[in-house]
Amino acid sequence: MLKVKGRIVNSVIKEDILYLHIKALSDNSLWSFSLHNNEFKKEKVLPKDIHVIWDLNVKHDILLMETMSIEKDIIQLEKENKTK
């Protein structure tokens, strides 16, 4: 079991490595956990505006990510009955 300081936002698995996107009060970071030898290490600090990492290649420093989020409001519409 891993204990992290922050909130795990999402994860991506590549071969035998689990990559964790962790948001904490101090930073937004990418960590790797090797399923082969149980090694857990910080790979890089990420910009604050990254919301989701979809795919990655750490060796070539490539991240496919989402930097914006869309918020939706719920609207309730009521039909007014006018009877004469």
- How does pLDDT run across 14-67, given as a tens digit for each residue? 889 999 999 988 888 999 999 999 899 999 898 888 877 878 877 767 777 666
Q: Which residue ranges make up each domain of the chain?
A: 7-66
Q: 51: closest CA among 7, 4, 16, 5?
A: 7
pTM: predicted TM-score of the whole model, two decimal places: 0.68
Q: Is 67 left (phi over 0), alpha (psi -120 to 50) or beta?
A: alpha
Q: Phi, psi at residue 31, to the nearest 5°?
A: -120, 155
